[in-house]
Amino acid sequence: MTKLYYAPGACSLAAHLVLEETGAPYELEVVNLRDGQQHTAAYRALNPKGRVPLLEDGELLLTEVTAIMVYLACKHPDAALLPENPQTLARCLEWCSWLASSVHAAAVAQIWRPQRFADDPALHGAISEKGKTNLRESFDLIEKRLTGCHWAVGSQYSLVDPYLLVFYRWGYRMELDMRAHYPQWTAHAERLYSRAAIRQALEQEGIGIWP
């Protein structure tokens, strides 16, 4: 059985949305990040990185949102979540690499986890502020790239689309007025919400898209 270790609304949501899109059976196991469950010996034995998501599939233990989504898409080709055309496939990976690195590991972490960038608490405020600027630049680019597109890589739905929803929700958690600032991205989120698989996974996590 395939099992996803996740935290509600965390980046693991992208893997969960993709799992639900495949239509295959799976189990969920919540990891309570607030209580530090990701740092317990039991969890670190499975994932030494101490983060979610973690996918367990038979003998396979897999971390990193992009790797998990690509694995699931390849395992369930009928779900058509990864384009076959080399250029579109590369465009998908371009999106995922950028979201995981520049947007998540840099800008979002600067805002929510400034202690990763400097030990001195006096510097944390400035790091978070810079993160907000970096995030707005990234979000502006997302808005621009979604303009005139039904989905992130054009007309074909792909694993990039659910991944974008993670950041859209985080925008609200950072008190950005996503509807006002990002109308194209909001329309994209609404299109996602019209998909039964997306609503089902959100419901399982006990979360919505909008506050």
Ligand X SMILES: N[C@@H](CCC(=O)N[C@@H](CS)C(=O)NCC(=O)O)C(=O)O
Distance CA 113, CA 21 (A): 31
Helices (H), 50-195: 65-75, 86-98, 109-112, 124-146, 160-173, 178-181, 183-193
- With CB under 6 A as the contact rule, the residue among 4, 21, 38, 82 that binds ligand X is 38
User: For ligand X, which is the closer residue by CB, 38 or 158?
Assistant: 38
- With CB under 6 A as the contact rule, the residue among 4, 5, 6, 10 that binds ligand X is 10
User: For ligand X, which is the closer residue by CB, 8 or 150?
Assistant: 8
Instruction: Classify residue 37 by its DSSP letter.
Output: G
Distance CA 91, CA 83 (A): 9
The verdict on 64 binding ligand X (CB under 6 A) reads yes
Stretch that binds ligand X, among 19-27, 51-59, 138-146, 201-209 (CB under 6 A): 51-59
Integer angstrom CA distances of residue 172 from 54, 78, 180, 200: 25, 33, 11, 21
End-to-end CA distance of the chain: 34
Stretch that binds ligand X, among 46-54, 118-126, 152-160, 174-182 (CB under 6 A): 46-54
- With CB under 6 A as the contact rule, the residue among 5, 17, 19, 51 that binds ligand X is 51
- Residues 139 to 178: which contact ligand X by CB under 6 A? none
Whether 24 and 16 have beta carbons less than 8 Å apart is answered as no
- With CB under 6 A as the contact rule, the residue among 5, 6, 11, 70 that binds ligand X is 11
Q: How far is the CB of 65 from ligand X (least distance, A)?
A: 4
- Residues 79 to 138: which contact ligand X by CB under 6 A? 100, 105
C-alpha of 68 from chain center: 11
User: For ligand X, which is the closer residue by CB, 49 or 75?
Assistant: 49
The verdict on 52 binding ligand X (CB under 6 A) reads yes
Task: Identify the three-state secondary structure at position 49.
Answer: coil
Token digits of residue 183: 């109308």
Instruction: Classify residue 80 by its DSSP letter.
Output: -
Return residues touching ligand X (CB under 6 A). Answer: 10-11, 33, 38, 50-53, 64-65, 100, 105
